[in-house]
Amino acid sequence: MDDQTTSRDPEQTRGRILDAALDVFARKGYHEASVDEIVDQSHTSKGSIYFHFPNKQRLFLALVDKFADVLERHVKESIAHEQAGMRRVRAALEAVLNTFSKYRSLAKILLVQAVGLGSAFEEKRLEVHQRFALLIQHYLDQAVEVGDIAPVDTELVAYAWMGAINELVIRWVYTGEPKPDRIFSTLLPILLHSVRFEEPS
């Protein structure tokens, strides 16, 4: 399919560019990846890429959004059949770790190698951080409503949980340790205990 054909469907072209960029960034890293490689991988043209993304950094930031969308979708799918309350909180945390495990090479690019990209990336990182803190807060609010946990400042708890998760996930994608199952088995009880929730034995 040539670029003239795909130009009639801008969203399809954009999706192909993002898929190609994801693969190239994951293999080469941000700094070593070139727009020419993304052109070849996506079977488009530089004109198409620059039509959708003014530069490589903007393309990279769009990938951050794409990864965040995937992560949120996996979380929502994992809690779809769970009752409101701490069961959803637990399922959401497990989905986050499983998603990072599945996309570890991409997570390493997004969370580690992109740190030096400047204010644009920092703003995007904070935006994504807030997005998932609000998601956690929502499930904690549900847990309060159904009586699983006592009333608590769910906003602050959510950001504190995000900080702990983020620190351990970054360490894992960078070094390979601690493994996700160890993170989950150790971190989860600590997080649940912080809101005075004890899982049934």
* pTM for this entry: 0.78
Instruction: Read off the pLDDT band of 185 (50, 70, 90).
Output: confident
- Structural domain range at position 131: 63-194
Residue 179 or 146, more confident: 146
168 found inside a domain:
yes
Q: Are residues 97 and 173 in the same domain?
A: yes
Instruction: Read off the pLDDT band of 8 (50, 70, 90).
Output: low
pLDDT of residue 36: 93
- Please give the full DSSP string across 10-57, using - where no structure is assigned: HHHHHHHHHHHHHHHHHHH-TTT--HHHHHHHHT--HHHHHHH-SSHH
d(CA 49, CA 51): 5
Instruction: Read off the pLDDT band of 4 (50, 70, 90).
Output: very low
143 found inside a domain:
yes
Q: Are residues 117 and 47 in the same domain?
A: no
The answer to whether residue 108 scores a pLDDT higher than 90 is: no
In the chain, the number of structural domains is 2
CA angle 163, 164, 167 (to 5 degrees): 85
The answer to whether residue 85 scores a pLDDT higher than 50 is: yes
The amino acid at 54: P
The amino acid at 192: L
